[in-house]
Amino acid sequence: MQGLLDKIEQAFREFYLGLIESNLTTMFIDVNEKTATIAEQIGQTPQGWNGNIFSMITEENNLHDEVSFSFFKYFLKMWVAVFLVTHTFDIHIFI
């Protein structure tokens, strides 16, 4: 009787060990494939990844569409901000 139970136990162990081993092997292969895919995507240049978006970003960063008025507007806003901050107490007294 003990020999029969040992053989049944051994069959269950082999069955479950086979399932676990196949699951771990499949998971290991899947992780390696995903890692290779990620490494391939990371290794691409921005232009190789999506050339249209890369060219759109470089066109916007060239400042070829900018005119001198935008710089003037920037400096005017900065001057007003500095003036208001430095004269805050003077303005507060008159109000």
Give yes or no for residue 78 having a pLDDT over 90. yes
CA torsion 71-75-76-81 (nearest 10°) is 140
Question: Mean pLDDT, the chain, as a whole number?
Answer: 84
Position with higher pLDDT, 64 vs 49:
49
User: How buried is 54 (Cβ within 10 angstroms: 0-12 exposed, 13-18 middle, 19+ buried)?
Assistant: middle
| Residue-level pLDDT at 79 | 95
